[in-house]
Amino acid sequence: MAFVQLIGRTFLNFLAAAGRLAIFALRALSHCVRPPFYFRNLGHQLVEIGYYSLPVVGLTAIFTGMVLALQSYTGFARFSGESTIPQVVVVSITRELGPVLAGLMVAGRVSSANAAEVGTMRVTEQIDALITLATDPFKYLIAPRIVAGIIALPMLVLVADTIGIFGGYLVGVYKLGFTAGTYLNNTLNFMQVMDVVSGLVKAAMFGFIITLMGCYHGYHSSGGAQGVGTATTNAVVSASILILASNYLITELFFAR
């Protein structure tokens, strides 16, 4: 009986948490489209999320492209399919690996930073101070982060796509014996607009998830430094899981027959 109660209680707690998150997300989105807009904060967040994530996203993308070309070669050589490497790299990078890996890397960097910053503001009463100064914390703190996430992630993914394809090109041309012209020709001929667009839609969704989870866990943190630490961990874990889950749903939406 106690076991059934435990399952029931866990399920109800999950529903309550999902409800709280949904209300928080709707409230945050509503503040994204209603004035006043804090453009200075938005610009600051675009730099924090977009510009400062470039090195980690770029490095992830180039090594992923290089490994992808190398692995595809060793695998496809078993049935004489080596010539399809440029096509495999471009489709894999633009549809999946670019957005997902960039999303996961930015989740680690940005979700944690948002949760720590907003959480510290919560436990040190800075959010209460914002309210007493007639400034809505959703408009001032949360909306700029979410809008910046939705704008910055697609840009980062465009960069990741380019660098990832370049990584595959480097391995293809300098290690596997492709000529530069053939590799680029195959890449460009095979790449479709929908491949890139689907990746960018995913990226925008991931940007929303990353910033939302960081802000949500930070905003509801309590109990001092330990509470902020817990919020930071929860933000990264939940953002990563939601990225992978939503990736499947968006893929289903775009490509399922």
Is the Cβ of residue 124 or residue 182 nearer to another protein in the bound state?
124
- Shortest Å, Cβ 31 to another protein: 12
- Shortest Å, Cβ 27 to another protein: 12
Q: Which two tokens stand for residue 234?
A: 């929860």
- Shortest Å, Cβ 137 to another protein: 10
- The owner of tokens 């490994």 is 67
Q: Which two tokens stand for residue 176?
A: 């596997």
Is the Cβ of residue 128 or residue 255 nearer to another protein in the bound state?
128
Is the Cβ of residue 225 or residue 244 nearer to another protein in the bound state?
225
- Shortest Å, Cβ 16 to another protein: 14
Number of residues counted as binding another protein (CB under 8 A): 15
Q: Binding to another protein (CB under 8 A): which residues in 117-146? A: 120-121, 124-126, 128-129, 131-136, 140
**Nearest C-alpha neighbor of 104 from the set 143, 145, 56:** 56
Q: Give the integer Cα–Cα distance in Å for 112 and 110.
A: 5
Q: Binding to another protein (CB under 8 A): which residues in 200-239? A: none
Helix %, strand %, coil % for the chain, to 5? 90, 0, 10
Backbone dihedral region for residue 187 (phi beyond 0: left; psi -120 to 50: alpha; all else: beta)? alpha
Is the Cβ of residue 71 or residue 222 nearer to another protein in the bound state?
222
> What is the 8-class DSSP label of residue 134?
T
- Shortest Å, Cβ 124 to another protein: 6
**Nearest C-alpha neighbor of 228 from the set 62, 64, 108, 114:** 114
- Shortest Å, Cβ 108 to another protein: 22
Q: Give the integer Cα–Cα distance in Å for 113 and 235.
A: 9
Is the Cβ of residue 68 or residue 141 nearer to another protein in the bound state?
141
Query: x/- site string to another protein, residues 167 to 186, per CB under 8 A?
Result: --------------------
- Within the chain, what is the greatest distance between any pair of CA atoms? 70
- Shortest Å, Cβ 123 to another protein: 10
**Nearest C-alpha neighbor of 38 from the set 143, 118, 133:** 143
Is the Cβ of residue 5 or residue 132 nearer to another protein in the bound state?
132
Q: Binding to another protein (CB under 8 A): which residues in 23-82? A: 38
State the CB neighbour count (10 A cutoff) for residue 143. 28
CA angle 19, 21, 26 (to 5 degrees): 95
Is the Cβ of residue 44 or residue 109 nearer to another protein in the bound state?
44
Residue numbers of the site for another protein (CB under 8 A)? 38, 120-121, 124-126, 128-129, 131-136, 140
